[in-house]
Amino acid sequence: MKFLDEYRDRGAAERFAAAIRNITTQPWTIMEICGGQTHTIVKYGIESLLPPEITLVHGPGCPVCVTPLEIIDKAIAIASLPDVIFTSFGDMMRVPGSSKDLLTVRAERGNVRMVYSPLDAVKIAAENPGKKVVFFGVGFETTAPANAMTVWQARRLGLRNFSLLCSHVLVPPAIDALLSSPASRIQGFLAAGHVCTVMGYEEYIPLARKYKVPIVVTGFEPVDILQGLAMAIRQLEEKRTDVENQYARAVRREGNPAARKLLEEVFEVTDRSWRGIGQIPRSGYRLREEFAAFDAERVFDVGGIVAQESPLCIAGEILQGLKKPHECSAFGSKCTPEHPLGAPMVSSEGACAAYYHYGQFRHAAAGQESS
Amino acid sequence: MENKPVIDPFAGLSCPIPQSEYATVLLAHGGGGKLTQQLIQKMFVSQFDNELLAPLHDGAVIPLGALRLAFSTDTYVVDPIFFPGGDIGELAVNGTVNDLAMCGAVPQYLSSAFIIEEGLPMEELWRVVLSMKNAARAAGVTLVTGDTKVVDKGKGDRVFINTSGIGVIAPGVDVSPRNARPGDVIILNGNIAAHGMAIMSVREGLAFETQIVSDTAPLHGLVAQILQADPGVHVMRDPTRGGIASALNEIAGSSRMGIAIIEEAIPMTDEVRGACEILGLDPLYVANEGKMLAFVDPASAPRVLAAMRSHPLGKDAVVIGKVVADHPGLVVMKSTIGGMRVVDMLSGEQLPRIC
């Protein structure tokens, strides 16, 4: 497939892997922010191509994983109401709330529908004037423009039965929070390419300066990631701390101005709680006052919900890169994709699910047995 | 007083429901992955247990005097009932024909049972029936018995069809998922994931530039070619729901062997790859309805491959991997960039991702 195969090419992958081996003189710890990158790393076995000095830690860039339990419980409460059609992206459907997930609500005859595009939810609202249609708007800057467009369109169409349950989060404040933690051992970052296609990468320049870490805006294919790693390691070896753009085929310095303008119009920045990490100041979006009529948290009375996390789940440490999934005592035993205790075991971008599906832990176990 | 044996009418009720964390059945229990397996094992196999059921093959192999019969059943609930490349009627005939063929049998007689929702246009039912007639003729099977039920509107989804079938296994043929052996060569007959993506593209209203067409086809002819080339073929399996990943995992589990496959060797069309890429689905887990995997001895592999390629449904046949003695029960794959990873059984439905 044109524009994809060249980034999954073995020759190119081997060249970048060789370059990394050649330039690495000491141990470095690098975090890939985005869960999509984590999956590529594990799925393609990228760590097996790297020298032992390089440690990759997996970041909090999984929108499903960091959505607070409380919001998921609110989603479940709203989806269980009569006369509601609750719409969501597929991978939010299996994330466990305090007592159940959205798929269970559907099995219990709730009207829960999976959509591929947020605008499909607006279409459903227009077609079902007798129902209240809610879209579960989660994600990073990547999905924010399309979700903003739902309320923008709903207002333009004069729809009174559409609302957005909004739990948007932003990447740069999360990087700031991770690096300001005394426990942080991260020396370089791969920033999430798709987030930067929307927002550009100017916001990352002060972070690279403040914490003296190289940040490389990186794509999602295996060759992208190897090249991004090579660029970050070269900077570390040369003692540079710049923001570089590996993903130049998609990302411009200023991002996508039309999308940013829409975000500005519909959303305002707010403090947000991240599942497993806690409150991060100015790290999310909420709907502006002008769009209050489309805010599901105001349309439905779900204010009193208090959530209870599983005490066994160490998602917070995983999402901050302090621990790897197989270092969790529940991993693969009490916590599996069939019975997840925490969101990282569910999402297609969750680090735990990636380790589980692509068998990193079983490789590790086999290695221990044979040694 | 006569001492009659007492039959306890409540005996069955004292048997406790198997432990499960699910109080209700989820859609994922029908997805063909781990939850389906758990449901089958805990609820059905535990209670119906017998030696003919035990292999959990596509069909049961029943010795009957000098004959060996293959017996299989399957129910078709596809939505929509007409899709690019086929319809529910054709699928219902081909699916059971294929299940019998995968037992090494020549499919012969089929039953068909219809559960029809009130309000189904007669014209649509007629199209389905004609399609079944044509599919049966093409597969050389006869529909010899059937049943019809009509349910209230809203209590079904247009039409559900069950077909069961029997076929005869030739002497000397012994095909079973338990028969995989180290060194066996794994051959696939062509491009994967077409059926699942064809259904997905119409069901979800995804307008791709080129239409993806289901691969539904009867595989009995291809199987006859294979058995002619090598009557001792070890395993045959049609990777339907759950895709080739689930089928390979089931075989690895049944035979307690390891399976090693090569990502680059697994063929699919650019349209299917593109659609999977857009939706974030792994084609290894997407359904097929005209594909099969054959596990054969390395000595006869070239002969089987040539025989498959001489048949229209096997012209794109390729070797995708082999059976190994290492890592029993696990399927591992060499990725396109040379890394290794495990190909696991899917835990539930494949869900399209957020971004």
List the single residue in B24, B38, B274 with the smallest CB-CB distance to A104.
Answer: B24
- On average, the pLDDT of chain A sits at 90
pLDDT of residue B134: 97
The dihedral sign for the CA sequence B263, B269, B273, B274 = positive
Tokens linked to B85: 């490349």
Cβ–Cβ below 8 Å for B354 and A366: no
212-251 in chain A: CB under 8 A from chain B: 222-223
Tokens linked to A293: 């009529």
Contacts of A124 in chain B (CB under 8 A): none
Does residue B191 carry a pLDDT above 50?
Answer: yes
How many H-runs (helices) and E-runs (strands) does chain B carry? 10, 14
Does residue B340 carry a pLDDT above 60?
Answer: yes
pLDDT of residue B208: 63
Cβ-contact A325, A318 below 8 angstroms: yes
Q: Which is higher by pLDDT, B253 or B211?
A: B253
Give the whole-number percent of chain A exceeding pLDDT 70: 95
| Span A130-177, pLDDT tens digits | 999 999 999 999 999 999 999 999 999 999 999 999 999 999 999 999
Residue of A nearest to B245 (CA): A357
Residue B120: CB partners within 8 Å, gap ≥ 6? B158, B159
What pLDDT band is residue B4 in, cutting at 50, 70 and 90?
low
Does residue A307 carry a pLDDT above 90?
Answer: no
List the single residue in B28, B273, B335 with the smallest CB-CB distance to A45.
Answer: B335
Instruction: Measure Cα distances from B64 to A69, A348, B58, B104, B291 in Å.
Output: 58, 49, 19, 16, 30
Q: Could you give the CA distance from residue A179 to residue A203 in angstroms, rounded to a whole number? A: 15
Cβ–Cβ below 8 Å for A63 and B24: no
The mean per-residue pLDDT over the stretch A231-260 comes to: 96
Relative to beta strand A215-218, strand B185-188 is unpaired
pLDDT of residue A370: 34
Q: Could you give the CA distance from residue A201 to residue A192 in angstroms, rounded to a whole number? A: 10
Most confident of A39-53, A348-362, B17-31, B108-122: B108-122
| Span B123-180, pLDDT tens digits | 999 999 999 999 999 999 999 999 999 999 999 999 999 999 999 999 999 999 999 9
Contacts of B336 in chain A (CB under 8 A): 8-10, 44, 222
Range in A324-328, B32-36, B170-174, B217-221 the model is least confident about: B32-36
Neighbours of A210 (CB within 10 A): 12
| Span B85-107, pLDDT tens digits | 999 999 999 999 999 999 999 99
Does residue B288 carry a pLDDT above 50?
Answer: yes
87-116 in chain A: CB under 8 A from chain B: 89-94, 103-104, 106-108, 114, 116
pLDDT of residue A347: 73
pLDDT of residue B57: 83
140-199 in chain A: CB under 8 A from chain B: 140, 142-143, 194
The mean per-residue pLDDT over the stretch A43-62 comes to: 91
Instruction: Measure Cα distances from A169 to A133, A203, B116, B146, B153 in Å.
Output: 23, 15, 48, 57, 44
What pLDDT band is residue B11 in, cutting at 50, 70 and 90?
very low
ipTM of the complex in this document? 0.70
Contacts of A136 in chain B (CB under 8 A): none
| Span B36-68, pLDDT tens digits | 888 999 999 999 999 999 888 889 999 999 899
